[in-house]
Amino acid sequence: MLNTPPVFAVYVSLLTLRWIKDQGGLIEMEKRAQARADLFYAALDQLDVFKPLVEKEDRSLMNATFTTKNKDLEAPFLELCKQNGMVGVKGHRSVGGLRVSMYNAMPISSVQALVDLMTEFDKSK
């Protein structure tokens, strides 16, 4: 029927909202998002190999875009990410560069693992 609500989508939304509430609500989600972003951007700004694409005041807490200062290092970095189980780091096909998403369900330990990998890569170059 045309007026039947999308039951699965409604159910998944319910589960997600319950999870957010159980984690401490929107205030806790914002704190976690800020902590993940602070950790990532602090590393990005300090490492010599990488270059942020967005000015500090405009950076997203969820999706960070960046690139390597030397384009020849992008492919080796992506290969290192793949070898370490970090997929989807390659930027959009029409824009290029690199992109990481730090959504609500991502633990800060995952961001730390990426930062550690970026630091290792930076030291090797």
- Which domain does 74 fall in, by range? 29-124
pLDDT at position 95, please? Answer: 84
In total, the chain counts a number of residues equal to 125
pTM (two decimals) = 0.89
* CA–CA dist 23, 27 (Å, integer): 10
Report if residue 79 sits inside a domain.
Answer: yes
pLDDT at 80 over 80: yes
User: What is the pLDDT averaged over residues 12-39?
Assistant: 97
pLDDT at 1 over 70: no
Residue 74: count other Cβ atoms within 10 Å of its Cβ: 20
Three-state secondary structure call for residue 68: strand
Report if residue 110 sits inside a domain.
Answer: yes
pLDDT at position 2, please? Answer: 75
* CA–CA dist 41, 17 (Å, integer): 28
Number of domains present in the structure of the chain: 1
Q: What is the CATH number of the domain that holds 72?
A: 3.90.1150.10
Q: What is the mean pLDDT of the chain?
A: 95
pLDDT at position 94, please? Answer: 85
